[in-house]
Structure 1
Amino acid sequence: MTAEQCPEDLIQVKPFLKWAGGKRWLLPELQKYLPDELGCYFEPFLGGGAVFFGVKPQQAVLSDLNPELIQLYRVVRDEPDELERLLYLHQQHHCKEYYYETRAAKPTSRIEQAAWMLYLNRTCFNGLYRVNRRGEFNVPIGTKTKVVFEDESFRALSCALANADLNSQDFEATIQQANNGDFIYVDPPYTVAHNFNGFLKYNDNIFSWDDQVRLRETLDDAAVRGARIIVSNANHDSIRELYRGFGEVKELPRYSAIAGPAGRRVPTSELLICMGG
């Protein structure tokens, strides 16, 4: 759907993916520090898109290194009705045997791949996206059986994404497009210096400490061009040192959401680094 075809009441949407490191919990705090005028919204580590859907920008450039993730977003934007139809078919057949047969048989068409990815995301254990060294999705079945929810509208999601440019590319290529008056939200993998091997396995990509340094340098350049920036990152001395002098640093408490059962989740904290306003 195009933006002109979207009624105003269809723009109110929630993220459709569960994603490791998702930022739904952050929105109430982050919105306190958003600039009054966003310009174009840039998000180079899109993931589940919680901040994008919460902010609801009029114009956006969204990217992620995961090409299947970006393809899913494009299908949601461009072919919401057909995607929903395929998801209902998955829901009708869902059971343990069907899940594992589907997981092992990745389709070839873009829209079937998108439905395959979202079906697995909604029915796998803990909504975790994980692939093995061959790039194969390998998460076991979970307890959820719903694939399409009563309160969601794929047409509304399509409308929210109507003016979004979606790319599978390195963060630097995305941030370099931001100029004076634009807003950048950055939520990179939480690599810190000297963390054992010095890198973090991020799906099937490696995000190293050198990438963290390159990100800071790329954001410095964007700030010089007049972009406003908010960064989420690990509350760690190496991150604090890396962003020293960059902007206002805030420590935000939260509970870890990746530790499995709720009883095993422990209090932790993250940093929010704000530049410009």
Structure 2
Amino acid sequence: MNTILKWPGSKVRVMTELSAHFPAGNRLVEPFAGSCAVMMNTDYPEYLVADINPDLINMYRQIKEHTRPFIVVAMALFSQNTTEESYYRVRKEFNENASMPLLERAAHFLYLNRHGYRGVCRYNLKGEFNIPFGHYAKPYYPLYEIEMFAEKAQRATFICAGYQETLGMVKAGDVVYCDPPYHGTFTEYHTGGFSEDDQHSLACYLLGISERNSVILSNSDTLFTRSIYRAFDITKITVARSVGVKAGEGKRATEIIAVRKPEFHQSLIGWDMASGLNSSAFMELPQ
């Protein structure tokens, strides 16, 4: 299932490899929403989808709650603004009109994504969207993808929050998937960026959560990421890279899928404590 947005690093093309690592669960928790490719290509009863980008989360909420009005407003933007000049006019309005209704802002965000350079999402330090015009012959209007998303989104809760707050909401039965800005690549996703300290902090959070919940993460294949996820099972995959390469020059890169699931003996101890039985009998179970 393709996604509403063009998105560098979208997981649509690697879902075959990625989905093999997803266990069953009551809810999938994603602290880095991105294009929602994983939500659209998995089948959990519920989803908690978060991101620090308020425009991204607003668009997902508007599509979920006001599907038909969003389709109409966004389609009008696509049909009435087809030139480079009109792109910059829409971008200027998006950046400067603080009182723009949320539905219109969501439609503007989709328009900028589909008309901007390779679907990159970037803001300057003032919080202004600053991606240049993409020079596409005929940008695709994702009507089918919007309708499919709106249907799937009825199972989802969308929140604008950082990964720390989102991971603090994980509960028993949840599966956690993280697709943060990749180490050593484009990290200025939003005004704050994503540093190596952030990468390390995320790894620490996930290690703690993995004592109770299954955790899956995607990232660049570097010595740094292999070090901070050394307690995880790591699988290397090869993917296409589309941003930062010359036109017509296909390049591929390696990524890791890091997976950690609760230990068998920890599950037993948790069950034993909940039942009120003496847990000492289980302490000698192998690691």
**Identical-residue share of aligned pairs (%):** 27
In the other structure, the counterpart of 2:238 is 253
1:6-25 alignment to 2 at 5 Å?
14-25=2-13
Q: Does 1:145 find its partner at 2:131?
A: no
Once the two structures are TM-superposed, the CA of residue 105 in structure 1 deviates from its matched residue by 1.0
Aligned mate of 2:106, from 114, 118, 140: 114
Aligned mate of 1:28, from 7, 16, 19: 16
Q: Distance in 2 between matches of 1:176 and 1:149?
A: 34
Asked whether the 8 Å contact 1:232–1:270 carries over to 2, the reply is yes
Once the two structures are TM-superposed, the CA of residue 234 in structure 1 deviates from its matched residue by 1.1
Q: Does 1:184 find its partner at 2:170?
A: no
Q: Kindly provide the CA deviation profile for residues 202-237 of structure 1, in whole angstroms up to 9, marking residues without a partner as x.
A: 23222111111111111122112x211111011011
State the structure with more CA Rg.
Answer: 2
Q: Kindly provide the CA deviation profile for residues 20-72 of structure 1, in whole angstroms up to 9, marking residues without a partner as x.
A: 2221122010111211x222100001111111111132201110111111111
Asked whether the 8 Å contact 2:245–2:251 carries over to 1, the reply is no
**Gap runs ≥5 in structure 2:** 263-287
1:105-254 alignment to 2 at 5 Å?
105-106=93-94, 107=97, 108-142=100-134, 143-146=136-139, 148-149=141-142, 152=144, 154-191=146-183, 200-224=187-211, 226-245=212-231, 247-254=232-239
1:23-102 alignment to 2 at 5 Å?
23-35=11-23, 37-96=24-83, 97-102=85-90
Once the two structures are TM-superposed, the CA of residue 261 in structure 1 deviates from its matched residue by 4.6
Amino acid at match of 1:228: S
Q: Distance in 1 between matches of 2:227 and 2:258?
A: 12
Distance 1:250 1:90, change over 3 A: same
Q: Distance in 2 between matches of 1:209 and 1:146?
A: 35
Of 133-142 and 82-91, deviating more is 133-142
Q: Distance in 2 between matches of 1:47 and 1:89?
A: 25
**Gap runs ≥5 in structure 1:** 1-12
Q: Kindly provide the CA deviation profile for residues 126-185 of structure 1, in whole angstroms up to 9, marking residues without a partner as x.
A: 1222222322222222214345246x1534321111121111111011112223321111
Asked whether the 8 Å contact 2:221–2:256 carries over to 1, the reply is yes
In the other structure, the counterpart of 1:7 is none
Q: How many residues align?
A: 256
Asked whether the 8 Å contact 1:232–1:273 carries over to 2, the reply is yes
Q: Distance in 2 between matches of 1:147 and 1:86?
A: 15
Q: Distance in 2 between matches of 1:46 and 1:153?
A: 16
Q: Does 1:274 find its partner at 2:259?
A: yes
Q: Distance in 2 between matches of 1:215 and 1:232?
A: 12
Residue aligned with 1:161, SS:
helix
Once the two structures are TM-superposed, the CA of residue 76 in structure 1 deviates from its matched residue by 0.9
Q: Distance in 1 between matches of 2:245 and 2:137?
A: 15
CA RMSD of aligned residues (A): 2.0
Q: Distance in 2 between matches of 1:77 and 1:153?
A: 12
Q: Distance in 2 between matches of 1:271 and 1:71?
A: 30
Q: TM-score, normalised by structure 1?
A: 0.86
Q: Distance in 1 between matches of 2:199 and 2:91?
A: 33
